[in-house]
Amino acid sequence: MKKKILLYDTTLRDGGQAEGVAFSLPDKLRIADRLDRVGIHYIEGGWPGSNPKDMAFFREIKKSPLRQARVVAFGSTRRAGVSVKKDPNVISLLEAGTPAIAVFGKSWILHVTDVLRAAPDTNLEMIRDTVSYLKSKGKELIYDAEHFFDGYKDDPEYALATLKAAADGGAEFLVLCDTNGGCLPEEISGITNAVRESFTLPLGIHTHDDGGLATANTLAAVRAGAVMVQGTINGYGERTGNANLCSIIPNLVLKMGLPALTRPRLRKLGDLSRFVDEMANITPNPRAPFVGESAFAHKGGMHVDAVRKNPRTFEHIQPEEVGNRRRVLVSELSGKSNVILKAVEFGVDLDKETPETARVLEELKRLGEEGYDFEGADASFRILLQKAMGKHKDFFKLEGFRVIVEKRQNQPTLSEATVKIRVGEKSELSAGEGDGPVNALDNALRKVLLRFYPEIREVHLADFKVRDLDASAGTAAKVRVLIQSRDRKDIWGTVGVSQNIIEAAYQALVDSVDYKLLKQRKKKPGGGKR
């Protein structure tokens, strides 16, 4: 029978120590609920002795108990010279009221002498006293051996003595930590094997990614016998981050065949990754293994042709197994297979021999020479496809626009845009103000279009990026503007290119509106223009 792997998430504590990450109390509660629903076994909620917010989390989480995950409070051993019963940190761990507690202690003699400034034997007493006292209060006790691998390499006898102190105190798990993140997989596996030969208690692994090896090191420890895997969602953590559970879990389940999560729950991993990014207010990493938007994206024509015939040729797993999807990218480098598969995503049936396919490919290459890039602009490609097939109808015609930017002495800069369009036989003009010229243009365009297409009201500008296409040309260079728009259900990208940034932005804005109206028309029976 394959060993059961226990997943221990420390996103709410270790992940919150990442630069640029600060979870609010509601964020932490929502993340804990989502981790529980996915099937994580242990959720470390924070260090109650370090700040009021973490203690508030432990109070609030009791009001909406989790379905299956065990909540863990984290803290250190008692301080030297302080009775365990009077140590504020230990008292706060009990006040948190969690069923499980994780206590960390020093394993590296360097930290004992230079950080704690305590005698080696005193450190052993601190570990044993703290674990024993908390265990006597009926808690499940997880002992985190901080800097264990570095400590073992420096003085294996003392490092093992710290584990024995925790075991003698009643710890139920001994977690070996690569706190500095500098070990190699062979070091992790060799040392974990040595510990397993000395102790019968179940072992855990906690790694950091300073050497880019946190995932590999975690899997090496599991192969050597570790059964508890600690990490964070998306690898958040101090410095370069912690072991990334979004990479580790699929490898455990799909590659090593270990029952860390059920297959149905594994399919929720992509959503979980994006949800935690949203709570952290961080843009998802498109190149993240398994869950990133680019993880199953194909661009090269030969690759795309092979994937069209058999996805296994260039995909190590099925994207759906981890809640992801296959994407085909189109650019001036695309072949016919890219165009065909991309058309399929939009419900358009093409094949290599149709003249429409050749026209799309020809137009892609022409626009590519001008500086267009459709990798992040699926909506613009959809409109290009419609035009190449002779099926696109303009929802409106531009008669002109004007943008004014005014600065007066110490007053804020003002931006105002005026747009005039024609729908059928009717011309309309509208003005809008904004924080900048593009924002003003967007407001003016949407204001005038609302008179004809009320559904535009729910479209919002989500992101705006500008790329200089020829830095050597200075201010006369062409620019590419990429815009992301969203409504209540979808988000889509559009692109524009020009030597004038306002004109490039206008092109992208028009494609954004066209795409929204195209979607709306397809939903309506016999849909057409209003």
How do residues 39-55 score in pLDDT, each as one tens digit? 999 999 999 988 889 99
Burial group, residue 133, by CB count within 10 angstroms (0-12, 13-18, 19+): buried
Rounded to whole angstroms, the Cα distance separating 86 from 78 reads 9
Over 80: is that where the pLDDT of 376 sits?
Answer: no
- More confident: 334 or 18: 18
Domain limits, the chain: 6-280, 297-370
For residue 406, the tally of other CB atoms under 10 A from its CB is: 10
Q: Are strands 327-328 and 397-406 parallel, antiparallel or unpaired?
A: unpaired
User: What whole-number percentage of the chain has pLDDT above 90?
Assistant: 59
Instruction: Please give the CATH superfamily to which domain 6-280 belongs.
Output: Aldolase class I (3.20.20.70)
Q: Are 2 and 258 in contact (CB under 8 A)?
A: yes
Please check whether residue 309 is in contact with residue 341, taking contact to mean a CB–CB distance below 8 angstroms.
no
Tell me the C-alpha distance between 215 and 255, whole Å. Answer: 13
Average pLDDT, the chain: 89
Question: Do 313 and 306 contact (CB within 8 A), yes or no?
Answer: yes
pTM over 0.85: no
Q: What confidence tier does 475 reach under pLDDT thresholds 50, 70, 90?
A: low
Is pLDDT larger for residue 439 or for residue 148? Answer: 148
Say what the pLDDT of residue 523 is.
57
**pLDDT at residue 285 tops 80:** yes
More confidently predicted of 241 and 487: 241
Instruction: Give residue 528's pLDDT band: very low, low, confident or very high (50, 70, 90).
Output: very low
Cα separation, 234 vs 507, in Å, equals 35
Contacts of 91 (CB under 8 A, 6+ apart): 49
How is 143-182 classified by DSSP, letter by letter?
EEEETHHHHHHH-HHHHHHHHHHHHHHT-SEEEEEETT--
Tell me the CB-side half-sphere exposure of residue 399, using CA atoms within 13 A: 14
For residue 368, the model assigns a pLDDT of 75
Above 80 in pLDDT, residue 361?
no
Which pLDDT score is estimated for 472? 56
- 185 vs 196: CA distance, rounded Å: 16
Structure tokens that stand for 224 in this block: 């050597």
Question: Residues of the chain with pLDDT > 70: what percent?
Answer: 92
